[in-house]
Structure 1
Amino acid sequence: MPSRVVVIFAAAFLFAGCATPPKDDPEALAEFEKANDPIEPFNRVVFDFNMFVDKLIFKPIATMYDGAMPEYGQERVHNVLANMRAPVVFINDVLQGEGQRAGVTAGRFAINTTVGVLGIFDVAGEWGLEPHSEDFGQTFAVWGAPEGFYLVLPIFGPSNPRDGLGLLAEAILDPVNYWARSEDIDEFPISRTLATGVDIRSRNLDTLDEIERTSIDFYAAIRSLYRQRRADEIRNSRPSAIQPAPGFSTTPNPAQQAESAALLD
């Protein structure tokens, strides 16, 4: 995993000169800087590759899963996967100094792991402890690490250097995966990742199809939604002083929230 991430970032920096800022056009230059995508030609190649793999493998599997598994069963699978990620959320709550949110996460994990039967049932949610998500990319942002340029990772999708390092940190530090490796259950992290991918993709089949159908530029639409979603997550959905771009909101609507989950979580 670490070596693959290094190769990806090396390739990204190698292609960093592919997109030339339009210096003679102030309006175009402003748009270029706003997109924060200096390696756009490289990113578009990776994006097209990801779309090819998605249509060839991921989407068909997710479609079959969605058709074969009853909605009740899908919710149980989603709950278990979300519960397994709670320790990572807790760690990042603590690292960000969010004591109250850390308490909620710890409470949810304790209740759902016991009363909820290893997370099959979201009892904590029914008792008023609502879930939230945190990751190391968000923590690095809270600590002041710059976002860096927009970067599309093979398979993982939209990202940036900060979030890419966050992915690497989570792969190494995730307590559940660490436990599995310590017990010589080496296939567990891979199986868990695949199950999470199928769960996310199946829950967003219609949303992503609609975005692709209605977008003039699917790549640009995903880039915009991803960057707005990450900014919102880093603020923990607190209001921003920055005005949203026309047609978008700094607080995602349900469709954007569903779509954003499929971009990389």
Structure 2
Amino acid sequence: MKAGRGWLMVAVLGWGAVSLPVAAAEQDPWEGFNRAVFRFNDTLDTYTLKPLAKGYQRVTPDPVEDSIGNFFGNLGDVVVLGNDLLQGKMRNAGIDASRILFNTTFGVLGLFDVATPMGLTRNDEDFGQTLGAWGLGSGPYLVLPLFGPSTVRDAFGRVPDAYLQPYPYMGDVAARNTMRGIETVDTRAELLSAERMITGDRYVFVRNAYLQNREFRVQDGQVEDDF
């Protein structure tokens, strides 16, 4: 998964990753505020981002769409590598560094993912997970405007991760905004089929999925299942 992108991605794609009992209500003391922000995000998505994503998917050939996703995934691997190192996961760091090297060179600036067929499977780390690995609790659940589901810990974790991306170092504002826009629409397009998994109360579904999946990732999958 591409690091740090898409308000719905972690929730939807992570729902089936683990079945953990999460006391979500206890982790969501700001539910009133969070629901209001969730409605704002959902309305914005329904009337702007989702239609753009559908149009993008309709006019973009699949190989081109795959290459765009690979390009931004390669940029995201830099974030993963930085957090591998911060957590002392040197083997994973070697894998992700190799992915960046091979995909940037043989994969033509990341347009083609040549590393995965070589057995170099992408890891998934961000600074929120790094803080969790260092022993910092997640804090309350928090829905961020535009960015979507998070926790207090993960919200602060977005800041260092942002400096491992190219955007802060791009002087051309038009080029920076264009890249961000393409990345956002491409990410949203990937979710058009996956979002059908959402059932019942959309807010509760996304919240529970996010919290469960983040716990699973922070613990590197080593979470006890009470069932």
Which TM-score tier does this pair reach, normalised by the shorter chain? 0.7 to 0.9
Structure 1 residues 212-223: aligned runs within 5 Å: 215-223=199-207
1:198 is matched with 185
Structure 1 residues 35-50: aligned runs within 5 Å: 36-50=27-41
Does the 8 Å CA contact 1:87/1:176 hold for their aligned counterparts? no
In structure 2, the CA distance between the partners of 1:147 and 1:80, relative to structure 1 (3 Å rule), is: same
1:158 is matched with 149
Larger radius of gyration: 1
CA distance in 1, matches of 2:44, 2:200: 21
Structure 1 residues 134-173: aligned runs within 5 Å: 134-171=125-162, 173=163
Unaligned runs of 5+ in 1: 1-29, 245-265
1:79 is matched with 70
Are 1:101 and 2:88 an aligned pair?
Answer: no
Does the 8 Å CA contact 2:87/2:130 hold for their aligned counterparts? yes
2:25 is matched with 32
Alpha-carbon deviation of 1:87? 1.5
- Identify which of 195, 219, 225 aligns with 2:209: 225
In structure 2, the CA distance between the partners of 1:175 and 1:50, relative to structure 1 (3 Å rule), is: closer
Aligned-CA RMSD value: 1.6
TM norm structure 1: 0.73
In structure 2, the CA distance between the partners of 1:45 and 1:175, relative to structure 1 (3 Å rule), is: closer
Alpha-carbon deviation of 1:177? 2.9
TM norm structure 2: 0.85
Q: Per chain length, whose mean CA-contact separation is higher, i.e. which structure has more relative contact order (CA < 8 Å, sep 6+)?
A: 2
1:240 is matched with 223
Does the 8 Å CA contact 2:69/2:186 hold for their aligned counterparts? yes
The structure richer in helix per residue is 1
| Secondary structure of residue in 2 paired with 1:226 | helix
Alpha-carbon deviation of 1:149? 0.3
Deviation digits for residues 6-42 of structure 1 (CA, Å, limit 9, x no counterpart): xxxxxxxxxxxxxxxxxxxxxxxx7732xx1001011
Does the 8 Å CA contact 1:177/1:188 hold for their aligned counterparts? no
CA distance in 1, matches of 2:200, 2:135: 34
Structure 1 residues 52-131: aligned runs within 5 Å: 52-131=43-122
| Secondary structure of residue in 1 paired with 2:115 | helix
CA distance in 2, matches of 1:148, 1:227: 11
Deviation digits for residues 85-139 of structure 1 (CA, Å, limit 9, x no counterpart): 2221111000011000000000000011011100011111111111122111111
CA distance in 2, matches of 1:87, 1:31: 32
Unaligned runs of 5+ in 2: 1-22
Are 1:177 and 2:147 an aligned pair?
Answer: no
CA distance in 1, matches of 2:102, 2:165: 18
In structure 2, the CA distance between the partners of 1:196 and 1:175, relative to structure 1 (3 Å rule), is: closer
Does the 8 Å CA contact 2:24/2:207 hold for their aligned counterparts? no
Alpha-carbon deviation of 1:197? 1.6
Deviation digits for residues 59-88 of structure 1 (CA, Å, limit 9, x no counterpart): 000000111111111110000001112221
Alpha-carbon deviation of 1:243? 2.5
Q: Identity over aligned residues, as a percent?
A: 38
| Secondary structure of residue in 2 paired with 1:205 | coil
Bigger mean CA offset, 227-236 vs 138-147? 227-236
Alpha-carbon deviation of 1:178? 4.4
